[in-house]
Amino acid sequence: MLSQDAIQKIDREIAKYPAEQKQSAVMAALAIAQMEKGWLSTETIEAVAGHLGMAPVAVYEVASFYNMYDLAPVGKVKITVCTNLPCALSGGVHAADYLKQKLGIGFNETTPDGRFTLKEGECMGACGDAPVLLVNNVRMCSFMQPEQIDRLLGECQ
């Protein structure tokens, strides 16, 4: 299911915790699995659960709780816009609307060319930089006015 390489990386994470608390590595393991597979299918979740000795539904709880985990296939570039209160007050909703209009898609949708997916995110802990968005779970972009958004989309084309 998972490649040897991914298993090795997961084992490295597991090693950071006491042997009887393997499940502490679940978030890292899911991230590694998602990195390899692109998204977390039922089978991938089962594979992670099996490797960590957890109930599949317990892994699913984690995978469905955090929105950096994708339970369905996403485009090459996943843009997650924060719409929580501080961002919303400082233009987060406008940023999201601008993205929707530019990409021609709504939240949780992917452009027909499979390039962009738009997601609504929860607070990223950078309210002072609002509006913020996250690209592919790792790249944080601050002060995203239309101009900056255009530049970002340009880069990602």
Partner 1 sequence: MAKIEIDGKQVEIENGRTVIEAAHLAGIYIPHFCYHKKLSIAANCRMCLVQVEKAPKPLPACATPVTDGMKVFTASEQAVKAQKGVMEFLLINHPLDCPVCDKGGECELQDLAVGYGSSASRYQEEKRMVVPKEVGPLISTKEMSRCINCTRCVRFGQEIGGIMELGQAFRGEHAEIMSFVSNSVDSELSGNMIDLCPVGALTSKPFRFTARAWELSHRRSVSPHDSLGSNLTVQVKNNRVMRVLPAENEEINECWLSDKDRFSYEGLNSGERLTKPMIKQNGAWQEVEWQAALEYAAKGLRQIADGAGAEHIGALATPHSTLEELYLLQKLVRSVGSDNVDFRLRQSDFSADGKQAGAPWLGMPIAEINTRDRILLVGSFLRKDHPLLAHRARDAVKKGAQASIVHSADDDLLMNVANKAIVAPDAMANVLAQILKALAAEKQAVVEASVQSAEVGSAAAAIAKSLASGERVAVLLGNFAQQHPQAAQLQVLGQQIAALCGGKFGFLGEAANSVGGHLAKALPRANGMNAAAMLAAPRKAYILLNVEAELDTHNPQQALVAMKAADLVVALSAYKHQATDYADVLLPIAPFSETSGTFVNTEGRVQSFKGAIKPLGEARPGWKVLRVLGNLLNETGFEYDTSEAVRDEALSGVDVAAQLNNAVQGVALETAGAGSGSLQRVSDVPIYSADAIVRRAASLQNTRDAEAPCALMHGAELSRLGVHAGEQVKVSQGEGSAILVAAADDRLPQGVVRVAAGHAATAGLGAMFGAVTVEPITGGRA
Interacting residues toward partner 1 by CB under 8 A: 42, 45, 55-58, 60-61, 64-65
60 vs 116, beta carbon nearer partner 1 = 60
To partner 1, the closest distance from the beta carbon of 61 in angstroms equals 5
Kindly state the smallest distance separating residue 83's Cβ from partner 1, in Å: 13
Find the shortest distance in angstroms from Cβ 66 to partner 1: 8
Neighbour order of strands in the sheet with 139-141? 109-110, 116-121, 77-82, 133-135, 139-141
Tell me the C-alpha distance between 83 and 76, whole Å. Answer: 22
Neighbours of 55 (CB within 10 A): 11
84's tokens: 């929580």
Residue with Cβ nearer partner 1 (57 or 89): 57
